[in-house]
Chain A
Amino acid sequence: MPGMAPILQVENLKTHFASREGVVKAVDGVSFAIGAGETLCVVGESGSGKSITARSIMGILQKPGRIAAGQILFRKKDGAVVDLAALAPKGPEFRAIRGSEIAMVFQEPMSALSPVHTIGSQIAESAEIHMGLSRRAAMDRAAEVLDRVGFPNARQRLDAYAFQLSGGMRQRVAIAMALTCEPSLLIADEPTTALDVTTQAVILDLLADLSDTLDMALLFITHDLGVVAQIADSVVVMYLGEVAERGPADTLFAAPRHPYTRGLMRCIPEVGRAGTMETIPGIVPHPLNRPAGCPFNTRCPEAIAGLCDVAEPPLTSFAGDGAVACHLYGEYARGRAVHG
């Protein structure tokens, strides 16, 4: 939905972990925006900084992680825009937003729920603290949202415990918990990875449907480009804490620009495709040992010696909202076009 004022705008976000061995730049200069009601997918291999980006937005970074630079501009329901990166994560202003206007669903539905509290009380808690509801009214609200996420017999099962539920049902509880206060942005960090394939599809449909009907922006983190193709309005491809490429889903899938994006696409298993599935050669470099130049140059089949391993590629924007951080599209390419 281009043209719309974004609900969330991340500008040059840098989140670093300082340890004795050095500084892990888990997120290093990430920018993207999500419009109201839009679904944005963040993809990338393990360790590319997807979860840390999400946690930075939520203000739930674990020590020693901290936002070193950048802005996280969030438009609240009252229209005011706040920079979450500048708020104290444990302060009252941030807490009023967290769980109410921005909510999050985690990967592991079993361990993400408390084993000793009923699901009802865990869901109702958000309603109590953010909506000021009484215990009773909050429980009613819990039944309502549980019902909304397709939990059978919601009202009767408010006093069930997480360990009495299947993985899919637990994830519904986690989603209900996130939806309680009708957030305008829902962050889902690989919410289907821990589920079996059929349940994955069901939960995915549910999230897409909720995002549509509740006009809720969805920031969806995944490894799985198949999922991205299914639900994304726009896509951010991350590599080693940086944005390799971003853009609207349809153009990105039709014409992936970054060699890394193209590599990822070749990894999507397709039914009936002959031959073995390709993988991107090489391994993701250790975060403390980032290569000079383009972070992907050590694995890139199109790397240009003397350029890609020396200079970091700037982000080149294209008409129609796409952008790519790759020398193939920057000054070098233009220079080649002129001289060649």
Chain B
Amino acid sequence: MVAYILRRVLIMAPTMVLISVIVFAVIQLPPGDYLDTLVAQMASQGDRVDDAQLAALRARYGLDQPLLVQYFRWISGIVLHGDFGQSFEWNKPIADLIMPRIGLTLAIASVVLFLTSIIAIPIGVYSAVRQYSIGDHLATLFGFIGLAVPNVLLTLGLLYITFITFGLEPGGLFSREYQNAPWSLGKVGDLVAHLWIPVVVLTLAGTAEVIRVMRATMLDELVKPYVETARAKGLSEVRLITRYPVRLALNPIVSKLGWMMPIILSSEAIVSVIVDIPTTGPLLLRALLAQDMYLAGAIILMLAFITVVGTLVSDVLLAVLDPRIRYA
């Protein structure tokens, strides 16, 4: 088990290196270097950057050095000091900008994963055990709707409904009166009121997919001989199904959930832009539009890191669940 986890972590390292190289390449994409953009930006606002400051920044990013050196400066700053550089648009350290947003993004993604699991897995099991029942057909219908309705449309629809029925103005995390208030039940409620739309939209999309996978896997598992052996032991149907086929059908779901992380992260970006909540998505979009490339790079890098870690977690979970992987 330990060896297995170690092996997984070791595989992770080169993956991350590769991703960081790609991200660095993306940072280099716009014409000119970071400082050219900065100077242009400042100039357009009527500011002037003094040459000493420019020289200091040039030295810091190693912009007069070959690309390879620049890459190493950039990545070692991140890995060794958590220093992602400076956002020229916000004129703040990038780390300060993205960390709270990554926290929120992660929180939303985790809630979505959790909700997806506790909704989709039981429905999938029920659908398989009572195949072709009314409940199964309803679940399938629900699944098709979940798969077919675009997130954007659903988000806009929900926004409209909230606005019409509650008069609630979406945007941000809190209403004005709670913005600076200390934490209270009311403030939590307000937070939920602002976050439920992205959570519902993202959960719905994932749920449909997980129901489909769970149902199909369960249908396969239910007719396997080990289920018959267990039934021949005289187990009650509930114990039989939860202890045997469900237990085995969870394996593909666990790896599925690992794969869902990047999907949630990318759909989250779109939904958050629409409902205007401060996650990484809107920030990334803005950074890209403003060609604030070190900021954009930092976000992409962190999202990639979260995805890779998510896959690692799901792999480890899989090994915990399945001795065949553990002892392989």
* A residues with CB within 8 A of B: 58, 60, 62, 90, 95-100, 103-104, 106, 108, 111-117, 125-126, 129-130, 161, 163-164, 174, 177-178
Contacts and interface: CB of A to CB of B under 8 A. Distances in A.
A174 B233 CA distance: 11
Interface string B299-328: 000000000000000000000011110010
A108 B228 contact: no
A90 B236 CA distance: 7
A115 B228 contact: no
B232 A111 contact: no
Contacts of A104: 232
A163 B232 CA distance: 21
Contacts of A111: 224-226
Query: Looking at B223, B224, B230, which has the most chain A CB atoms within 10 Å of its CB?
Result: B230
A329 to B, nearest CB: 37
B225 A100 contact: no
A10 B5 CA distance: 56
Contacts of B233: 98-99, 103, 125-126, 129, 177
Contacts of B228: 60, 106, 112
Contacts of A95: 234-236
B235 A125 contact: yes
Given A62-B223, A111-B224, A116 B232 contact: no
A164 B328 CA distance: 11
The 5 A-B pairs at the shortest CB distance, nearest first, are namely A99-B234, A99-B233, A98-B234, A111-B225, A95-B234
Nearest to B224: A111
A170 B232 CA distance: 17
A176 B227 CA distance: 17
A58 B327 contact: no
Contacts of A60: 228, 231-232
Nearest to B234: A99
Chain B interface, >50% SS class: helix
Nearest to B223: A62
27 contacts: A58-B232, A90-B236, A90-B237, A96-B234, A97-B234, A98-B232, A98-B233, A99-B232, A99-B234, A99-B235, A104-B232, A106-B225, A106-B228, A112-B225, A112-B229, A114-B226, A114-B248, A115-B322, A115-B323, A115-B324, A116-B248, A117-B244, A125-B235, A126-B233, A161-B324, A161-B327, A163-B327
A49 B233 CA distance: 22
B232 A113 contact: no
A177 B234 contact: no
Interface of B: 223-226, 228-237, 244, 247-248, 321-324, 327
B229 A129 contact: no
Given A115-B324, A116-B247, A164-B327, A100 B226 contact: no
B324 A163 contact: yes
Contacts of A96: 234
A158 B236 CA distance: 24
Contacts of B234: 95-100, 126, 129-130
A228 B142 CA distance: 55
A115 B248 contact: yes
Contacts of B237: 90
Given A115-B324, A161-B323, A129 B235 contact: yes
Contacts of B231: 60, 98
A126 B230 CA distance: 9
Nearest to A121: B243
Contacts of B236: 90, 95
A18 B284 CA distance: 61
Contacts of A130: 234
A314 to B, nearest CB: 34
A174 B229 contact: yes
Given A100-B234, A129-B235, 14 more contacts: A95-B235, A106-B228, A112-B226, A112-B229, A114-B229, A114-B230, A114-B247, A116-B247, A116-B324, A126-B234, A161-B327, A163-B323, A177-B229, A178-B232
Contacts of A178: 232
Contacts of B247: 114, 116-117
Nearest to B131: A63
Contacts of B324: 115-116, 161, 163
Nearest to A54: B232
A117 B246 CA distance: 13
B321 A103 contact: no
B225 A116 contact: no
A334 B191 CA distance: 94
A96 B236 CA distance: 10
A137 B233 CA distance: 18
Contacts of B235: 95, 99, 125, 129
A178 B232 CA distance: 9
B129 to A, nearest CB: 12
A100 B225 CA distance: 19
B322 A116 contact: yes
Query: Looking at B229, B235, B237, B327, which has the most chain A CB atoms within 10 Å of its CB?
Result: B229
B223 A113 contact: no
B252 to A, nearest CB: 13
A207 B127 CA distance: 40
A117 B233 CA distance: 15
A243 to B, nearest CB: 24
A124 B228 CA distance: 17
